[in-house]
């Protein structure tokens, strides 16, 4: 092919480079607008020319705000911040406060730039928390940082709704104030309208919710640094509300896939006995079946297997070539009237092979318990999860003994994957708070729990993943999620207090438009910076005090 026919590949678009270019362009605009604004104030020029320069300054600094306002109006969002900002600025020009109207647009844009700078650096500090983790975790956190919606939380909707209600009340109050002030005092309508505009500006919800997505990211990164990786901030926030934890034993407290420790038969040779056992558990979904299939490398004769019946937590029953076979625990066999001698048994879980009522041999599989999790349930309860429910595939005796040792509130034995989901569903329906479901395998759908956490590196249906080595960090992450909520509420209250003070100052005439917008942005920046307290030493000290770590 000739060189003239070579198809050129399109250049790759670098979002970071585009963002930097736009920021540089905005800075240039603001510098030029500021110079024009200063000229309008410093030089002695006719009033109409000064107002013209102020209009040019405001237009150059905020023409993009005008475009956003138009877009919001076309979409029916009449109370959006850009719409209110342009309305207030225009009215300020008309009532004789052109300098403040232009300063409002100019300072608003400068405030947005500073707020964006603060957010970016706070996000960078948050991402530094996951340095040293797996590349997949780092990439996931970076993806969340680039998507503000993923870092938003339900509390933001509550704050926006509350702020929206306050805004509407403020608008009503501003109208009444603008009309009433001249009627009952010596002030004119121009003064009352000016103060009403200030009240309306202060009532906009920007500083109330500015920090929430940043707080969400800081919480997500802090949780990931302890090993629990959430898909989004909504799931992390749901964990803050969790009052019940439903925990699957398999893969959490024990090995997900146990191994065969020993196999013995005093009737059959080792190879024949293994062949017999492997066929018995071929259709089983219990952990013992996985352990046996891992050591059996021969072909199966499935035509000899008939009348298979799963006995969750105990074993299986079937017929092989018409002969009744039971492969089960001693607890189950004793319930069937068989005398099983368990003396001299080694550590692990033992299953016995019974053929036509005669004991043929036994298989012992590992039942190792993660010793690092012996205090998991008490620590979860200390972190605010009052009920901890154990789901296990064991029989009732084994399950009850384990539940008591680990301080569980409730226990359900002989659980199949379907039964586990049913229990989670029932628990969710009967619980006022949120339910957390911790599991390792066997789930091919999302449960009805508020938060599904899977012990794995990846999970298609779960809301979060955690490695088996870091399960002990769950109580800490529970505290982190609550801390995120507390910080968001603190920030909102701080913003509301500042706004209340500003409104009071506006009513008595000690505040103007530019001071209101400067202090509102200062409040927003302060709340963003405050989010880093989520990872502060006070939280870690509190956790060490509670859990002795």
Spatial distance between the Cα atoms of 186 and 503, rounded to a whole number of angstroms: 21
Written as six digits, the tokens of 250 are: 């398999």
**Residue showing tokens 């001698």:** 341
Q: Which of left, alpha, beta for 251 (phi over 0: left; psi -120 to 50: alpha)?
A: left
Spatial distance between the Cα atoms of 35 and 29, rounded to a whole number of angstroms: 10
Written as six digits, the tokens of 508 are: 């008595």
For residue 189, the model assigns a pLDDT of 92
For residue 259, the model assigns a pLDDT of 82
For residue 536, the model assigns a pLDDT of 65
Spatial distance between the Cα atoms of 458 and 465, rounded to a whole number of angstroms: 6
Taking 80 as the threshold, does the pLDDT of residue 7 lie above it? Answer: no
For residue 544, the model assigns a pLDDT of 46
User: pLDDT tens digits, residue range 282-292?
Assistant: 998 787 888 89
Q: What is the mean pLDDT of residues 468-492?
A: 91
What is the side-by-side strand order in the sheet with 410-412?
A: 228-230, 464-466, 451-455, 434-439, 242-248, 387-391, 410-412
The angle that helices 513-530 and 98-127 make with each other, rounded to 10 degrees, is: 10
Residues contacting residue 295 through CB under 8 Å, at least 6 positions apart = 260, 274
User: pLDDT tens digits, residue range 109-134?
Assistant: 999 999 999 999 999 999 999 998 98
β-pair type (434-439, 242-248): parallel
Q: What is the mean pLDDT of residues 90-116?
A: 93
> Are 34 and 103 within 8 A, CB to CB?
no
For residue 345, the model assigns a pLDDT of 58
Taking 80 as the threshold, does the pLDDT of residue 173 lie above it? Answer: yes
Mean pLDDT of the chain: 86
**pLDDT class for 542, splitting at 50, 70, 90?**
low
Spatial distance between the Cα atoms of 354 and 246, rounded to a whole number of angstroms: 35
Residue 245 vs residues 242, 437, 453, 457, 505: alpha-carbon distances, Å: 7, 6, 10, 21, 49
For residue 336, the model assigns a pLDDT of 86
Enumerate long-range contacts of 155-160, CB under 8 Å, 24 or more apart: 155/212, 155/237, 155/485, 155/488, 155/489, 156/209, 156/212, 156/213, 156/488, 159/205, 159/208, 159/209, 159/212, 159/488, 159/492, 160/205, 160/208, 160/209
Spatial distance between the Cα atoms of 158 and 161, rounded to a whole number of angstroms: 5
**Helix, strand, or coil here: 466?**
strand
**pLDDT class for 12, splitting at 50, 70, 90?**
low
Spatial distance between the Cα atoms of 453 and 441, rounded to a whole number of angstroms: 11
455: nearest Cα among 467, 445, 447: 467
Taking 50 as the threshold, does the pLDDT of residue 545 lie above it? Answer: no
For the entire predicted model, the pTM comes to 0.79
Percent of the chain at pLDDT > 90 equals 52
Lowest mean pLDDT among 23-37, 227-241, 256-270, 503-517: 256-270
Residue 218: CB atoms within 10 Å: 29
**pLDDT class for 480, splitting at 50, 70, 90?**
very high
Written as six digits, the tokens of 456 are: 């794995």
**pLDDT class for 13, splitting at 50, 70, 90?**
very low
User: pLDDT tens digits, residue range 368-392?
Assistant: 677 778 889 999 999 999 999 999 8
For residue 347, the model assigns a pLDDT of 63
Spatial distance between the Cα atoms of 358 and 351, rounded to a whole number of angstroms: 14
For residue 125, the model assigns a pLDDT of 92
Residues contacting residue 549 through CB under 8 Å, at least 6 positions apart = 543
**pLDDT class for 2, splitting at 50, 70, 90?**
very low
**pLDDT class for 160, splitting at 50, 70, 90?**
confident
* Beta-bridge mates of residue 388: 245
Give the CA dihedral 237, 238, 241, 242, nearest 10 degrees. Answer: -130
Taking 60 as the threshold, does the pLDDT of residue 540 lie above it? Answer: no
What is the enclosing helix (H) or strand (E) of 39?
A: helix 15-42
Q: What is the mean pLDDT of residues 438-467?
A: 87
255 vs 480 pLDDT, higher one: 480
């Amino acid at each position: 092919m000739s060189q003239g026919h070579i198809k050129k590949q399109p250049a790759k678009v670098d979002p970071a480079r585009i963002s930097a270019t736009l920021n540089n362009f905005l800075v240039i605009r603001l510098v030029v607008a500021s110079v024009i604004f200063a000229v309008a104030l410093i030089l002695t020029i006719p009033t109409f020319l000064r107002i013209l320069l102020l209009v040019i300054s405001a237009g150059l600094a905020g023409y993009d705000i005008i475009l956003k306002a138009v877009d919001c109006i076309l979409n029916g969002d009449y109370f959006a911040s850009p719409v209110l900002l342009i309305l207030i600025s225009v009215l300020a020009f008309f009532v004789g406060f052109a300098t403040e109207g232009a300063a409002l647009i100019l300072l608003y844009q400068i405030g947005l730039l500073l707020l964006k700078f603060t957010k970016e650096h706070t996000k960078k500090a948050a991402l530094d928390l996951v340095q040293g983790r797996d590349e997949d975790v780092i990439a996931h956190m970076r993806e969340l940082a680039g998507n503000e919606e993923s870092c938003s939380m339900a509390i933001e909707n509550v704050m926006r709704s509350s702020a929206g209600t306050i805004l509407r009340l403020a608008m009503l109050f501003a109208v009444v104030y603008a009309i009433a002030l001249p009627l009952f005092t010596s002030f004119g309508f121009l003064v009352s309208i000016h103060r009403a505009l200030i009240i309306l500006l202060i009532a906009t919800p920007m500083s109330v919710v500015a920090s929430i997505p940043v707080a969400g990211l800081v919480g997500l990164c802090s949780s990931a640094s302890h090993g629990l990786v959430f898909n989004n901030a909504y799931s992390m926030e749901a964990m803050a509300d969790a009052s019940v934890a439903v925990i699957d034993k398999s893969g959490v407290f024990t090995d997900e896939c146990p191994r065969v420790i020993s196999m013995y038969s005093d009737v059959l040779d080792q190879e024949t006995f293994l062949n017999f056992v492997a066929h018995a558990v071929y259709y089983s979904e219990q952990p013992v079946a996985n352990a046996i299939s891992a050591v059996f490398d021969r072909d199966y004769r499935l035509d000899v297997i008939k009348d298979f019946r799963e006995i969750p937590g105990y074993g299986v029953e079937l017929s092989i070539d018409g002969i009744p076979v039971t492969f089960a625990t001693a607890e189950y066999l004793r319930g069937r009237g068989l005398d099983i001698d368990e003396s001299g048994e080694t550590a692990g879980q033992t299953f016995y092979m019974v053929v036509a009522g005669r004991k043929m041999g036994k298989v012992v599989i590992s039942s190792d318990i993660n010793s690092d999790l012996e205090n998991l349930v008490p620590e979860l309860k200390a972190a605010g999860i009052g009920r901890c429910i154990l789901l296990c595939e064991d029989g009732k005796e084994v399950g009850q003994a384990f539940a008591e040792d680990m301080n569980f509130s409730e226990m359900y034995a002989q659980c199949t994957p379907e039964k586990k989901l049913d229990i989670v569903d029932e628990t969710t329906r009967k619980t006022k708070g949120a339910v957390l479901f911790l599991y390792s395998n066997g789930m091919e759908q999302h449960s009805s729990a508020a938060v599904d956490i899977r012990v794995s590196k990846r999970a298609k249906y779960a809301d979060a993943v955690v490695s088996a080595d870091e399960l002990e960090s769950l109580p800490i992450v529970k505290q982190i999620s609550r801390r995120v909520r507390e910080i968001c509420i603190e920030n909102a209250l701080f913003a509301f207090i500042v706004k209340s003070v500003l409104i009071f100052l506006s009513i008595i005439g000690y505040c103007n438009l530019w001071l209101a917008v400067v202090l509102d942005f200062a409040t927003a920046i302060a709340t963003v910076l405050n989010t880093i307290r989520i990872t502060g030493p006070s939280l870690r000290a509190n956790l060490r005090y509670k859990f002795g770590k």
